[in-house]
Structure 1
Amino acid sequence: MRGLEVIYTYMEKLDQYTIEQLRYRKKPGTWSIGQVYSHIIDVALEYLDNIRQCEESCSEQPLGKTEAGERLFGEGAFPPVKIKLPEGMEYSPNDAKNKADHLHDLNQLIDNIRAWDLRIAAIPPSYKVRHGGFGWLNAREWHDLIDMHTRHHLRQIKEIEEQWNKVTVDR
């Protein structure tokens, strides 16, 4: 599953959730399904903004990816492990949105991705924006990172769904 297909998967799943499921947390400090949705959308919009910065930079960047970036792009996916952000970079995504809010945000994200799909090939690959962990990425790489990041969080969604199913069976 690649590209918009993964976002459509999130949309299909969204239709199945109750508001209680969207906001369920296994324990304090963990994310709900709704927070994962907010996170993937927020990050994708940030990465789309980085594509815009690549387009507008009009200057070549000779530096490339870090070792971690080379590994990530070589694999074409995040490793199947939980990733802990460095201290000070943690945040708690919005948990107040309902299904309609998430659906609206996903539809807007799809529109934005489609708009960039039409323009991305014209952006020189030497125009780059720095990612804190993966190094200097060009517009195509930022676009691919949206896909990899969004797919990565499907594992987290599955884990939360499994925990929800355990809790509701035990009731």
Structure 2
Amino acid sequence: MNDRQSIESFKQDLQQYSLEQLRYNTGDGVWSLGQMYRHLIDVADEYLDHVEACSKACVEQPLGKSEVGEHLYEVGGFPMIRIKLPDLPGNTPDHSQNIEDLTEGLDRVVRRMIDWETRVDGISPHFKEKHEGFGWLTAREWLELIGMHFRHHLRQKKELEARWELFS
């Protein structure tokens, strides 16, 4: 399954949820399905903004990925561990959006990915943007990171769906 197919799979699953299921939260510090979807869309948009920034760069960046970043790209994805973001206002996604809003967000991400996939080979690999954990990434690496991030959240999606089944 390629990156866009992965996103399309998330989109198809989204259509099966009720609004109640999308917003269901156990209140134990775990996101709702809606919050997870909002997070995926927001992060994908952020990564695509970095692709665009690489395309507009004028200064070559000699530095590369961090050790963690090198490992991430060697294995082709995030480790199968839960990553807890600090409890800051910007790290808790809104879950008031409806299915249509989230579908539009996923569609926008896919459109932007298609656009950049056709142009990414023309961007110098020496023009990079810094990721706080993974070091300096090229436009192609930022684009690849979107798929890795969606795949990373597949397990969380299954867990949230199971919680709904358990508590509903």
TM-score w.r.t. structure 2 length?
A: 0.95
Q: 1:99 to 1:89 in 2, by over 3 A?
A: closer
Q: 1:87 to 1:19 in 2, by over 3 A?
A: closer
Question: Per-residue deviation at 1:94?
Answer: 1.4
Query: What is the DSSP-based 3-state SS (H/G/I as helix, E as strand, rest coil) of the residue aligned with 2:116?
Result: helix
Structure 1 portions without partners, runs of 5+: none
- Contact 1:45/1:109 (<8 A) preserved: yes
2:122 corresponds to? 122
Within a 5 Å distance, the mapping from 1:141-152 to structure 2 comes to 141-152=141-152
Question: What do you get for the CA RMSD once the two structures are aligned?
Answer: 1.4
Aligned residues between the structures: 168
Seq. identity, %? 46
Amino acid aligned to 2:68: A
1:113 corresponds to? 113
1:8 corresponds to? 8
Structure 2 portions without partners, runs of 5+: none
Q: 1:19 to 1:86 in 2, by over 3 A?
A: closer
Amino acid aligned to 1:148: M
- Contact 1:36/1:93 (<8 A) preserved: yes
Q: Please say if 1:81 is aligned against 2:81.
A: yes
- Contact 1:128/1:139 (<8 A) preserved: yes
Query: What is the DSSP-based 3-state SS (H/G/I as helix, E as strand, rest coil) of the residue aligned with 1:129?
Result: strand
Amino acid aligned to 2:17: Y
Q: Please say if 1:131 is aligned against 2:131.
A: yes
Query: What is the DSSP-based 3-state SS (H/G/I as helix, E as strand, rest coil) of the residue aligned with 1:16?
Result: coil
- Contact 2:60/2:126 (<8 A) preserved: yes
Within a 5 Å distance, the mapping from 1:27-46 to structure 2 comes to 27-46=27-46
Q: 1:86 to 1:92 in 2, by over 3 A?
A: closer
